[in-house]
Structures are given as C-alpha cells and as structure tokens.
Amino acid sequence: MITKRIEDELNKQVNAEYWSAYFYLSMSAYCAEIGLAGAANWFRVQYQEEIAHALKFFDYIIERGGKVDLKPIAEVPKEWNGIIHIFEDTQKHEQIVTSLIYHLMDVAIEERDHAAKSFLQWYVDEQVEEESNVQAILDQLRMVEGKGNGLFMIDKDLALRVFVDPTIPK
C-alpha cells in the first residue's frame, strides 16, 4: 500500500507528465509551422516519451493499490521565438521536471517508503539523460546561431530520432 500523501504526489506527477507531453506536442506543431520537419519529429518523439513516463506512474499507483486520479491538463504555450528559444524552453522545462522528481523522492524518504524510492530512482536517472540530450542540441544550435546551412543539417539529424519506449528495459 501507499500512503495518501504519496498517492496524491504520484497523481500530481501523472498530470505533470501529461502536461509535458502536451507541451512537446505543441512545440512539434510550431516546428512544423516554421518548416523544421526534423525538429517537429524530435518533439513528437519527446511527446511519446512523456506519455510513457506518465503511464509508468499510472501503472505504479495501481500496482501499489492506490487510486489513479486524472485531473484536467492545463493549457500549454503555442508560440515561441524561433528554434533556439524553443529548445531553451525545453531545457528550462526539463530542469523543472527534475525538481519535481526530486521533490517526490524527498516525500518518499519522509514517508519511509523504500519501494517508492526504488521506483523513483528510475526517473532520477532518466532526467539526467533528458537534460543532457537537450543540452547537446542547444549547444549545436547556438554554434550555428540557429540559422542557415547549420540549422538545415541539425534539422536533418533531428529527423532521425525514433521513439524507443524508455520504460522498457534494454
């Protein structure tokens, strides 16, 4: 069983992960609008990753005998000021998600819930990868000032990303 406090926090995170999915889907639409098909693909894959993150929380709540409580998803932004701005926003968002996961871990420690701690460790590690992926793309984009041939090449790379469910062990 999980405590009510852990159950509430996990449900909040299900919502946050769905919000992230919606956020990245909106970014995908924006990139398609500005003619960056590769970036649109990258954000669509990111959207799929967030759904996988949400479902992992969802399954865990059920596995631990908790009650899933799906709240409405708040509206997401739909306009950015170009490709560098959109990846800066992605980086900021992933840093916020990391802090949410750390908060959850703090609660699990306070509640002496060792199973939740073990479960959450997966997200701690996943966030390291999430932040580092975005940093690498942002570095490249800044190198080419987000334009010209450089941007064209980066967009071609971003087009190659395919969804691999991160929650399925390799």
Q: Which residues bind ligand FEO (CB under 6 A)?
A: 17, 20, 50, 53, 94, 97, 130
Q: What's the length of the chain?
A: 170
Helix (H/G/I), strand (E/B), else coil: 159 = coil
Residue 80 phi, psi dihedral angles, 5° rounding? -135, 170
Q: Which two tokens stand for residue 104?
A: 């959850």
Q: Report d(CA 50, CA 34) in Å as an integer.
A: 23
Least CB distance to ligand FEO at residue 18 (A):
10
Largest Cα–Cα distance in the chain? Answer: 56
Of the candidates 163, 162, 93, 166, the residue with the CA atom closest to the CA atom of residue 134? 93
Q: What value, to the nearest 5°, has the Cα angle with vertex 62 and ends 56 and 63?
A: 85
Please provide the DSSP assignment of 53-73 as one string.
HHHHHHHHHHHTT-----PPP
